């Protein structure tokens, strides 16, 4: 894997390195795990392909919702329901938080999609 902290020999700010790893998971489904709550799965008309495209296309990041610039939280409206998604960073055993979310060698990312009412 390419080091997310280096681009053409230049150091990338830590928040941007984390954001790029988060984008990879959100846009491609790789580099972590995507969890979908039962509440979302039970929505009439739920389609995982539609959800995957909505996550990949998401661009609603702003200073209020993404103050650290890590692109780790968002909201969607699909099938008439308000949904939230959040990326969390864990150690490799999924027991504790990651010591460095910018380092994919020691971090497991989990993107969870849930109904806003489940928050």
Q: How far apart are CA 36 and CA 114, in angstroms?
A: 6
Predicted pLDDT of residue 6: 54
Counting every residue written for the chain, the total comes to: 119
Q: How many domains does the chain have?
A: 1
Segment 18-71, tens digit of pLDDT: 999 999 999 999 999 999 999 999 999 999 999 999 999 999 999 999 999 999
Query: Per the domain annotation, does 45 fall within a domain?
Result: yes
Do 66 and 72 contact (CB within 8 A), yes or no? yes
Query: Per the domain annotation, does 1 fall within a domain?
Result: no
Query: Per the domain annotation, does 21 fall within a domain?
Result: yes
Query: Per the domain annotation, does 88 fall within a domain?
Result: yes
Predicted pLDDT of residue 11: 83
Task: Collapse the DSSP code of 11 into the 3-class scheme (helix H, G, I; strand E, B; otherwise coil) and give the result.
Answer: strand
Q: How far apart are CA 116 and CA 24, in angstroms?
A: 23
Query: Per the domain annotation, does 87 fall within a domain?
Result: yes
| Alpha-carbon dihedral sign for residues 22, 27, 29, 33 | positive
Predicted pLDDT of residue 2: 47
Query: Per the domain annotation, does 49 fall within a domain?
Result: yes
Domain of residue 98, residue span: 6-118
* Predicted TM-score (pTM) of this structure: 0.89
Q: How far apart are CA 78 and CA 106, in angstroms?
A: 34
- CB within 8 Å of 63: residues ≥ 6 apart: none
Query: Per the domain annotation, does 37 fall within a domain?
Result: yes
Query: Per the domain annotation, does 69 fall within a domain?
Result: yes
Segment 73-116, tens digit of pLDDT: 999 999 999 999 999 999 999 999 999 999 999 999 999 999 99
């Amino acid at each position: 894997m390419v080091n997310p902290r280096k681009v053409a020999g230049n150091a990338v700010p830590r928040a941007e390195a984390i954001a790029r790893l988060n984008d990879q998971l959100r846009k491609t489904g790789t580099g972590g795990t995507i969890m979908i709550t039962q509440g979302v799965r039970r929505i009439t008309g739920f389609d995982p392909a539609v959800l995957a495209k909505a996550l990949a296309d998401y661009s609603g990041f702003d200073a209020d919702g993404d103050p650290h610039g890590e692109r780790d939280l968002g909201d969607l409206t699909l099938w008439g329901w308000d949904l939230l998604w959040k990326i969390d960073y864990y150690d490799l055993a999924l027991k504790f938080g990651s010591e460095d979310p910018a380092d994919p060698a020691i971090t497991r990312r989990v993107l969870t999609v849930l109904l806003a009412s489940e928050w």
